[in-house]
Amino acid sequence: MTDTAPSTPNLASTARGLTYDVVVVGGGAAGLSTAASILKRRGGITLAIIEPSGSHFYQPGWTLVGGGVFKQSQTRRSEKKLIPAGADWVQAAATGFEPEANLVHLSNGSSIRYEVLVVATGLTLDWDAIEGLSETLGRNGVTSNYRYDLAPYTWQMVQTLGRGNAVFTQPPMPIKCAGAPQKAMYLACDAWRRRGLADNINTSFHTATPGLFGVKEFVPPLMDYINRYHIDLCLKSNLTKVDGKGRIATFENVAQDGSKTTSEVEFDMLHVVPPQRAPDVIRNSALAGDGGWVSVDPATLRHTKFANVFALGDVAGTSNAKTAAAVRVQAPVVAVNVLATLDHKPAVADYDGYGACPLTVERGKIVLAEFAYGGKLAPTLPTWLLNGRKPTHLAWFLKEWVMPALYWDGMLRGHELMVAPHKIGTPR
């Protein structure tokens, strides 16, 4: 399926392209949500969304595709149908930024000038950073829920594996949805348990991180499932090489004293999460800060140097969890701050770092981890209704039924249920 870009309107032209009040770079969850929130607040402004892809993906659903719950088609829709009314879709990729001149350069050879820029490009999955991985993905038992085309192969492997070694990996942080590497494993183990295969399959989790999860309050319920499924938990163990034909995964292991060793692990199934980094177009621009991410104030999400530039979502240089739940809270904050900037006023809203990881520990139960900057617990619902420190059926219901609808018909359309932007200086 391909979509063509709508005709470009006759807006004010400059010597180097068209001029918009707001230019949003990226048509994923962050870009679309912010654009829709801006336009719902103020019609009549000119706004362009720069996005090369004709398809939009609900990435949080890929875990459930890999777990046999969702169909692959449930996670994909036409980008054209999601562009908010009043916005222009520029179907091209950003190739460079000139923030001093308020310009974005595009892959089609043109440039666009802006009054305010919103950067929402997402991040880059660096599959080639692991030797041998790219050439064996999708075969030889090597899979990943981090790709639309591979998530069904994960479920295929779970269904067909009858015995042997199942290896799951997690790279160094930061990554999008830090709980996703575990989610794939728990759902697989639960499926094998239900089929009576738990004793036939040896499962191991190799994570480059020093702990199972970054917020300590959620570690005990997760460790309960590590023990229940007899998972061999290997901390500070980073995948560096994959021999698909030989079915061998190579890991670099860091000991307590900092010394490093290499180990080889045989596998029959290998679920890989690739290292992740800021896109090159960001890393090589004046917008980049530490690690190549867009340098922004963590509260206002305004650029630390360029006052008419904002960033949110996975590409923002903030310490929050890189999840769709974070974007849902960030988008309204950026929307009202963008409009304030257009009015030559200071930022009016701030973000507390909220993020959420619905950890699918078994089919029908989820540990819903919600937290803000510094690992501060930030539950949306009262604990008597939903205790995020315990696996619950309600959290699973939210994940399977409520969150997809909230995504497609809520946040992407600018509807801000329970995420009104917090005004700077007022109590939370």
Catalytically annotated residues: 177, 357
Degrees, nearest 5: CA angle 271-277-280: 130
Contact 310, 23 (CB under 8 A): no
Instruction: Match 């901390």 to its residue by tokens.
Output: 235
Q: Is 167 exposed, middle or buried (0-12, 13-18, 19+ CB in 10 A)?
A: buried
Distance (Å, rounded) from C-alpha 171 to C-alpha 173? 6
3-state secondary structure of 406: helix
Distance (Å, rounded) from C-alpha 357 to C-alpha 326? 10
Contact 72, 336 (CB under 8 A): no
Contact 308, 330 (CB under 8 A): no
DSSP 50-105: E---SEEE-GGGHHHHHTTSS-GGGGEEESGGGSPTTEEEE-S-EEEEETTTTEEE
Distance (Å, rounded) from C-alpha 282 to C-alpha 200? 46
Closest by CA position to 34, among listed 336, 324, 423, 296: 336
Copy the structure tokens of residue 98.
Answer: 């000139």
Residues 6+ apart with CB under 8 A from 411: 29, 33, 36, 324, 327, 328, 331
Distance (Å, rounded) from C-alpha 121 to C-alpha 30? 8
